[in-house]
Amino acid sequence: MKKKPLSFDKDLFKRSVLYNVKTLYRKTMEEATPQEIYQAAAYAIKDAIVDHWMTTQKAAAEQDPKIVYYMSMEFLMGRAFGNNLINLQAYKPVKEALDELGLDVNLVEDQEPDPALGNGGLGRLAACFLDSLATLGYMAYGCGIRYKYGMFRQQIKDGYQVEVPDTWLENGNPFELRRSELAKEVKFGGYVNMFTDEYGRTIFRQEGYQVVRAVPYDLPVIGYGNGVVDTLRIWDAEPIQCFQLDSFDKGDYQKAVEQENLASQLCEVLYPNDNHIAGKELRLKQQYFFISASVQTAVQRYLRNHDDIRKLYEKTVFQLNDTHPTVAVAELMRILMDDYYLSWDDAWDVTTKTCCYTNHTIMSEALEKWPVDLFQRLLPRIYQIVDEINRRFVDQIMRTYSGSAGIDVQAKIRSMAILYDNQVKMAHLAIVGGHSVNGVAKLHTEILKQRELKDFYEMMPEKFNNKTNGITQRRFLMHANPLLADWVTEKIGDDWITDLSQMDKLKDFVNDKKAQAEFMDIKLKNKQRLAEYILEHNGVKVDPKSIFDVQVKRLHEYKRQLLNILTVMYKYHDIKSHPNKDFYPKTYIFGAKAAAGYLTAKLTIKLINSVAEVINNDPDIKGKIKVVFIEDYRVSNAELIFAAADVSEQISTASKEASGTGNMKMMLNGAVTIGTMDGANVEIVNEVGEENAFIFGLSSQEVMEYEKNGNYNPMDIYNSDPNVKKALDMLVDGTFSKDKELFRPLYNCLLNKVGGNRADQYFILKDFESYLEAQKKISDAYADKKRWAKMALMNTACCGKFSSDRTIQEYVDEVWHLDKLNVEAK
Ligand code: B1N
**Using one digit for the tens of pLDDT, what is the confidence trace for 514-543?**
999 999 999 999 999 999 999 999 999 999
Pocket test for ligand 1, best of 75, 122, 472, 684 (most atoms within 8 A of CB): 122
679 in contact with ligand 1, CB cutoff 6 A? yes
**Helix or strand (DSSP H, E) at 780:** helix 764-783
What distances in angstroms separate CA 24 from CA 33, 39, 49, 523, one per listed residue? 12, 9, 19, 41
- Per-residue pLDDT band for 813 (boundaries 50, 70, 90) equals very high
HSE of 71, CA atoms in CB hemisphere, 13 A: 31
% the chain with pLDDT above 90: 97
Q: How far is the CA of 322 from the centre of ligand 1 (A)?
A: 8
Q: Where are the domains of the chain?
A: 64-79+114-469+809-816, 475-701+762-802
Q: Average pLDDT, stretch 624-636?
A: 98
Active site residue 602: no
Instruction: Check whether 4 has a pLDDT greater than 90.
Output: no
Share of the chain above pLDDT 70, in %: 98
C-alpha 122 to ligand 1 mean position (Å): 4
Span 542-587, pLDDT tens digits: 999 999 999 999 999 999 999 999 999 999 999 999 999 989 999 9
Bridge-partner residues for 140, per DSSP? 68
286 CA from centroid of ligand 1 (Å) = 18
Judge whether 64-79+114-469+809-816 and 475-701+762-802 match in fold. Answer: yes
* pLDDT at residue 246 tops 60: no
Residue 30 burial by Cβ neighbours in a 10 Å radius (0-12, 13-18, 19+): exposed
- Rounded to an integer, the average pLDDT of 624-653 is 98
Residue 788: its pLDDT value, please? 98
pLDDT of residue 444: 98
Q: Is the pLDDT of residue 715 over 80?
A: yes
What atom of ligand 1 comes closest to residue 360's alpha carbon?
A: 12
C-alpha–C-alpha distance, residues 548 and 340, integer Å: 60
Ligand 1 contact, 656 CB (< 6 A): no
Q: Which of 148, 463, 556, 665 is catalytic?
A: 665
How far is residue 227's CA from residue 10's CA, in Å, rounded to a whole number?
17
Query: Is residue 151 lining ligand 1, measured as CB closer than 6 Å?
Result: no
Mean of pLDDT values over 352-361: 98
Whether 125 is in the pocket of ligand 1, judged by its Cβ within 6 Å, is yes
Tell me, using a 6 A CB cutoff, whether residue 361 lines ligand 1: yes
**Pocket-testing residue among 277, 360, 700, ligand 1, by greatest number of atoms within 8 A of Cβ:** 360
What is the 149 CA–ligand 1 centroid distance (Å)?
Answer: 20
What single string gives the DSSP state of each residue in 483-512? HHHHHHHHHH-SGGGT-GGGGGGGGGGTT-
64-79+114-469+809-816 carries CATH number 1.10.10.10? no
Q: Is the shortest distance between the CB of 122 and ligand 1 below 6 Å?
A: yes
Give the distance (Å) from ligand 1 centre to CA of residue 453. 17
475-701+762-802 — its CATH code? 3.40.50.2000
Question: Is the CB of 440 inside a 6 Å radius of any atom of ligand 1?
Answer: yes
Pairing of strands 140-145, 184-188: unpaired
Q: What share of the chain is helix, strand, coil (3-state, %, to 5)?
A: 55, 15, 30
